[in-house]
Amino acid sequence: MSGSKVKHKVGKYELGRTIGEGTFAKVKFAKNMETGEPVAIKILDKEKVLRHKMVEQIRREIATMKLIKHPNVVRLHEVMGSKTRIYIVLEFVTGGELFDKIVNHGRMREEEARRYFQQLINAVDYCHSRGVYHRDLKPENLLLDSCGSLKVSDFGLSALSRQVGDDGLFHTTCGTPNYVAPEVLSDRGYDGATADLWSCGVILFVLLAGYLPFDDPNLLILYKKISASEFTCPPWLSFPARKLITRILDPNPMTRITIAEILEDEWFKKDFKPPEFEEKYEANVDDIDAAFKDSEEHHVMEKREREPVAMNAFELISMSKALNLGNLFDSEEEFKRNTRFTSKYPANEIISKIEEAVKPLGFDIQRKNYKMRLENVKAGRKGNLNIATEVFQVAPSIHMVEVRKAKGDTLEFHKFYKSLSASLKDVVWKSHDDLQGQAPE
């Protein structure tokens, strides 16, 4: 990369690496150049928004989210628009996903699980009271800040295309199958609040058990298990915890426990401390209208320099676990949906070596500068495996390569990376083991 930097600027923000992506949006790390504050920016494609007739829905969701200021919900700062994109500026949360905590450490003690569940219910209750429903609650959408407090991400923004019918119910089957409520699968319409609550119950089960209550590789069998609420609590759960989970995972939404009833539950109330925050909050929503206007006078300034990325210290630290820089150099056992390795090879050679390694594996390759998108032509368990890779410069002669699952099955991604890493033995910088201690066999 010859010491050069890439700078993609949007208004007062400098965009960095991609930290997440979905069907309609991509999320990038960014920095406010005026204050130095780190943020996350969700980028929506205007053409897709228009094609799927999502404009009014998105506008309404964003306006509502700007009015929500809760300590357990990721904050939406502002909205900007260009000729082709909508930029949603969000609070950047540094502690990673709750999902990773479960993967790395397994099930939690009841005291710890209860604390996270209390924060989750508080956030969900607050947003429901303002007419905002998540519809895709799962541990991957629950982030942890630097103090270990839970932050719900994508609240009101994860389901941008889902519409409420004339009957006041949602009619689009959505969300992650294992966490979806039975009524969502029935195609008869569902209430967003009770559906969200079911997902909270699944999350509580996962925190306490360390595995999913409903799981099967066959979707039809999985749906049958969910519809019948066919699950068994592990023997180590206390009776009060078991009772609460059973009342939440009631397949009948009409008799399912409500949030008001959860707040009175004895297991839930233990050591419960409601968050203190200012509920009355005045937010300026003028930027929302400006973001959607076609007039150039309302467009944010976009500036891109077509050169490779050089990562700064804050981005490096934000990518590591518990601010331990040694963890930048992940072992094969630690990664789940993304992983990284370092190399002393020039960036162009790294990209070429990756291309050589993946072609025999049956992947279509799209390359743009120092980024690559790989798509397996053969569909797997959850569709075509889609992988994003990007090369960053971390020092004049050291590069870091991030390999991230963008779509498809995590287990298939795991197998892909094992094959890739075997092919790139000469490319990976060997001395990174010294930084993290002996890597597991």
* Of 318, 21, 370, the residue nearest 146 (C-alpha): 318
What is the sign of the dihedral through the CA atoms of 227, 233, 239 and 244? negative
* Cβ-based neighbour number of residue 245 at 10 Å: 21
* Of 436, 367, 311, 342, the residue nearest 19 (C-alpha): 311
Using CA atoms, how far residue 354 sits from 264, 316, 358, 359, 427, in Å, is 56, 22, 6, 9, 9
- In this structure, what are the phi and psi dihedrals at residue 23, rounded to the nearest 5 degrees? -65, -45
* Cα–Cα distance for residue pair 158/436, rounded to 1 Å: 36
Amino acid sitting at position 305: E
Active-site residue 167, yes or no? no
Cα 212 off chain centre by:
18
- Token pair for residue 31? 């920095």
Residues 6+ apart with CB under 8 A from 136: 154, 158, 159, 174, 175, 176, 179, 199
Q: ∠386-388-389 over CA atoms, to 5°?
A: 145
Amino acid sitting at position 229: S
Cα 115 off chain centre by:
21
Q: Do the strands 38-45 and 76-81 form a parallel or antiparallel pair, or are they unpaired?
A: unpaired
- Token pair for residue 288? 């929302």
Burial code of 104-126, b = ≥16 C-beta within 10 A, e = fewer? eeebbebeebbbbbbbbbbbbbb
Cβ atoms 275, 227 nearer than 8 A: no
Entry field: residues in the chain: 441
**Helix, strand, or coil here: 379?**
strand
Question: Of 136, 196, 287, 330, which is the active-site residue?
Answer: 136
Q: Which helix (H) or strand (E) holds 41?
A: strand 38-45
Asked whether residue 42 is marked as a ligand-binding residue, the answer is yes
Q: What is the DSSP letter of 93?
A: -
As annotated, the binding site for ATP includes: 42
Question: Known catalytic residues?
Answer: 136
